[in-house]
Structure 1
Amino acid sequence: MNRIKVLLADDHTIVRNGIMSLLESSPEIEIVGEAGDGAEALAKVKDLLPDVLMIDIAMPVMNGIEAAQEVSKYHTHTKALMLSMHNNEDYILKSVEAGAYGYLLKDTTRDEILRALQTVARGEKYFSPSVSHIIVSSYLQKVKETEKVKSKKTKLSKKEKAIVRFIIDGDSSREIAEKLNLSVRTVDNHRANMMKRLGVKNAVELVKKVQEEKLA
């Protein structure tokens, strides 16, 4: 069985020693090197070709998120696994965006570290439960905000609703203009604006969209 080659990067020697003492008894893990900052970690990734770079976030010279981004771009054979004391949304989401394959908190157990290393080494994602909760919550919030924006975009004014009802009845722009005491040009402008906002190309699609989403 091939051992998982791990490079440790943390600016505190005592932390690196602690992690090594936790992992050295595992027959499937090989600690191939260590680094005290992000720049040193990148140099050693290039030389040592580890399977996993286990890296802290807050470090001098280059932080862990910047290093993870460089690894994901230029050293795809190595997967970045963040190991941090920071359990906040900003760090977690920035790590994910940077291409990190996992995120663990420093108070995690040896078993979870091993599980994370095995998962990430296979090219799969691993996030501790509390971190996963933050990622999912952030995603759901973005979906909610997107739906809110979409709802605002597709909301029709009172005049637009009146025009689209006549379009549904099959009236022409001239007929609608006469009924609403508007110019034909104004009716056509409203029609064009509604089609643009709703992402449709013609009156048939406009009617279908309005009826499906019950906008009028």
Structure 2
Amino acid sequence: MNKLRTLIVDDHPIVTEGLKNLLTHEPNIEITEVFYNGRDVLSYMKDHIADLVLLDITLPDINGMDLCKMIKQQSVETIILVFSNHTERSIILQSIRNGASGYLLKNSTLAELRDCIAEALKGNICYSREVAEIISRPSKNGSDHIPKITRRERQILSLLSEGKTSQVIGQELFLSPLTVDTHRRNLIQKFGVKNVAELMMAASQHKIL
């Protein structure tokens, strides 16, 4: 059986050492590298293959949710499991939108981690027991799912829905087209979508338009 080439990404040495010791005797896992920041991971993955990444959210240089997306852009086949202390529903959901195959809290058991890895290998989304409970709770007024946008972003969203280009929007709002493009990219990221068409659908579903 080929072992999963596994990276651990966490800025706390006690956590990385604990995970290494925990997974040392797992027959299907080989810890190939440990990283304490996001940039080193991205640099490593330019020349190396990783089958599995155990990723923390709080890193000193790159937000773990953003790093998740960057890793998937470099290596779509890599399985990412977020391993974090953050219990906010919005963070969990955004991590999954950004390409994570699962989300576990750091108080998870080895059995939960094994189960998550097995499910992720099948192509499924997986959670530790406590995270699954958080996900299953009704959100308060659905507020977890509605991205917070600025007044300017709302203006640009409205003009995009009318089919206007960045050039035209810039002229109407006295902004450069590059500034409009930046706002558009920020909106796409906030809503966790891929393009303007999906952005319009998401904004409509949230009754923002």
Aligned equivalent of 1:76: 76
Structure 2 length-normalised TM: 0.62
The answer to whether the aligner puts 1:38 opposite 2:53 as a matched pair is: no
Structure 1 length-normalised TM: 0.61
Cα 1:25–1:137, aligned 2, differ >3 Å: closer, same or farther?
Answer: same
Instruction: Give SS of 1:104's match.
Output: strand
The answer to whether the aligner puts 1:65 opposite 2:65 as a matched pair is: yes
Cα 1:45–1:70, aligned 2, differ >3 Å: closer, same or farther?
Answer: same
The answer to whether the aligner puts 1:119 opposite 2:122 as a matched pair is: no
Unmatched runs of 5 consecutive residues or more in structure 2: 146-209
Instruction: Give SS of 1:58's match.
Output: coil
CA-based RMSD: 2.4
Asked whether the 8 Å contact 1:49–1:77 carries over to 2, the reply is: no
Aligned equivalent of 1:28: 28
Instruction: Give SS of 1:27's match.
Output: coil
* CA displacement 1:132-152 (0-9 Å, x = unmatched): 23333357964xx9xxxxxxx
Q: Percent identity?
A: 32
Q: Determine which structure has more spread, i.e. the larger CA radius of gyration.
A: 1
CA distance in structure 2 between the aligned counterparts of 1:7 and 1:46, rounded to whole angstroms: 14
Aligned equivalent of 1:97: 97
Deviation at 1:47, TM superposition (A): 2.8
CA distance in structure 2 between the aligned counterparts of 1:119 and 1:113, rounded to whole angstroms: 10
Question: Residue type of the partner of 1:4?
Answer: L
Aligned residues: 145
CA distance in structure 2 between the aligned counterparts of 1:95 and 1:138, rounded to whole angstroms: 19
Aligned equivalent of 2:47: 47
Unmatched runs of 5 consecutive residues or more in structure 1: 146-216
CA distance in structure 2 between the aligned counterparts of 1:13 and 1:93, rounded to whole angstroms: 27
Question: Residue type of the partner of 2:74?
Answer: Y
CA distance in structure 2 between the aligned counterparts of 1:138 and 1:94, rounded to whole angstroms: 17
Aligned equivalent of 1:175: none
Asked whether the 8 Å contact 2:82–2:102 carries over to 1, the reply is: yes
Cα 1:141–1:101, aligned 2, differ >3 Å: closer, same or farther?
Answer: farther
More helix by share: 1
